[in-house]
A and B are shown apart, each in its own frame.
Chain A
């Protein structure tokens, strides 16, 4: 890649035993764009995201975020450098309320320690209030006011995914990685989610890397997409062009375009 993006993956490879989950994947995400990762099941989308966020460090290749090499860094360090993500299966903390879950997103800006809790009124209490104000902005942005004091396991899945997005956003990331934020949602919830992602991008200036199966969503909001198949990149570019690529059609419906 000639010009450096906010996130640069060059020649990233990862295999599990004999399974080559990622082969030589290179992407460069430009600041401020929404970059889509698309592909059939098992094509390596989540593996790439896991490589970026530090869960499965790539065996080959480098990943750079804002010019710094983050290849092989521990997940919590990558989080501190400004990348936040959500999970395909909602990964909220079940023992906490919605508000506490979102407050967790502020963790990297807080100084949690037992002494602060001991001197609560003078130390931790003030910190809590300061960060509560930040969190309320996110709650306002994602319209979560009505459920803030609920326990996370009593709210519907669509809202749970929104809470997870709120948790990621309250960490004020510069890169937001969304792993299928609309999986299992109905049309209305999907439309809400799309709106929130666009709001976050516009108002908070966050760059988004998104895995999504809904092609209508992908073509509507992504600036560029990368199509993966069996761990190999097969097409990249603006959504409409990439999806029309013969290799992509082949991967998805297994036939030639002319035949149709």
Chain B
């Protein structure tokens, strides 16, 4: 088939550790990147602005969370709060006259600081207790944002993002906003893949898999858990800022409420823990599938194929969506990324059938 392991020889250690050692994988990545870059040419503004753009940003958010949950194995159920800190910090910094580039970094840094401070307290507990501690962060941050007018701009207020430019490029038009979001998603993807193949990522996976064995080989578990919180929170903070500036173009507390955190966890789980492609697939699943299902059911309804009551019509997409989440996780608990991996491996050894690990 088009995938081939035979004939791929590595004579240098660098080549053996390349991100995509197989040529077919490289071509796939190049093709996808080219499609993403050319998207404004063939996608209507509606699709670009309300599907592809948020997909990229939520993928970046899922990548941030999967670094923490998938690689380091630390559950975080308050990640929307981290993104909120980034978004609010960045918006206040730009309003204070700071350049947008610095405000993005500042959003990341403040999210990282506050996120790590919570991590410092929360990491004394593990598992379900850590979930509770991070939930506490979500509610605390929500409360502070809503009740401190200096942050939220008053009760029920919406802060509009000021006009900004990114290294001379005005972030106003749809295409500029899309490319900024795409650039960030690509940067995070490359970063995440690099983390996976370096000592930092190995230390995180070691703590996730067997913390005592990690300690006996010299890994300070607390330090690396904290580093994971710091890195993921920074990524999440910048992503939150980009979500505000590129997609919503305003911030309100509801954009970062508890159910957003749950959606993020769903993206990471459905996509496949600790994988880059899983973050994209998971974000796409959680974000786009409900829309697709709604349109599909509506189309079937208007075509007269689906003759049910209006009430059921409204709920049918949600029912199918929920069933699909359960179905996919039952079919492959390791998520969409694992399904993709199985297909890839099938072609890798075709026409033979082994290697179904």
Interface residues in chain A, defined as those with a beta carbon under 8 Å from any beta carbon in chain B? 53-55, 74-76, 79-80, 84-85, 87, 91-96, 100, 103-108, 110-114, 116-118, 120, 124-125, 127-129, 131-133, 151, 154, 167-168, 171
- In the assembled complex, the CB of B156 is this many whole angstroms from the nearest CB of chain A, namely 38
- In the assembled complex, the CB of B107 is this many whole angstroms from the nearest CB of chain A, namely 17
Between B194, B208, B227, B230, the greatest number of chain A beta carbons within 10 A of the residue's beta carbon is seen for B194
Contact B215 A113 (CB under 8 A): no
Inter-chain contacts of A79 with B (CB < 8 A): 215-218
Contact B205 A95 (CB under 8 A): yes
* B202 touches A (CB below 8 Å): yes
Interface of B is mostly: helix
- In the assembled complex, the CB of A197 is this many whole angstroms from the nearest CB of chain B, namely 18
Contact A110 B199 (CB under 8 A): yes
Contact B205 A103 (CB under 8 A): no
Inter-chain contacts of B14 with A (CB < 8 A): 125, 129
Give which listed residue, A95, A96, A128, contacts B198 with CB less than 8 A: A128
How large, as a class, is the contact surface on chain B? 20 to 34
Give Cα A131–Cα B14 distance, bound, in whole angstroms.
Answer: 12
Contact B200 A117 (CB under 8 A): yes
Give Cα A103–Cα B196 distance, bound, in whole angstroms.
Answer: 13
- In the assembled complex, the CB of B66 is this many whole angstroms from the nearest CB of chain A, namely 13
Contact B220 A76 (CB under 8 A): yes
- Given the interface contacts A95-B205, A117-B191, does A133 sit within 8 Å of B199 by beta carbon? no
Contact B198 A91 (CB under 8 A): no
Inter-chain contacts of B13 with A (CB < 8 A): 128-129, 132-133
- Given the interface contacts A91-B213, A128-B17, does A120 sit within 8 Å of B221 by beta carbon? no
Contact B218 A171 (CB under 8 A): yes
Contact B194 A53 (CB under 8 A): no
Q: Please, which residue of chain B has its CB at the minimum distance from the CB of A129?
A: B13
Inter-chain contacts of A91 with B (CB < 8 A): 210, 212-213, 216
Give which listed residue, B199, B214, B216, contacts A85 with CB less than 8 A: B216
Could you name 21 residue pairs across A and B whose Cβ atoms are closer than 8 Å?
A: A74-B215, A75-B212, A76-B215, A79-B216, A95-B208, A103-B202, A104-B206, A104-B219, A107-B199, A107-B203, A107-B219, A114-B195, A116-B198, A116-B199, A124-B200, A125-B14, A127-B198, A127-B199, A128-B197, A129-B14, A133-B13
Inter-chain contacts of B216 with A (CB < 8 A): 53, 75-76, 79, 84-85, 87, 91
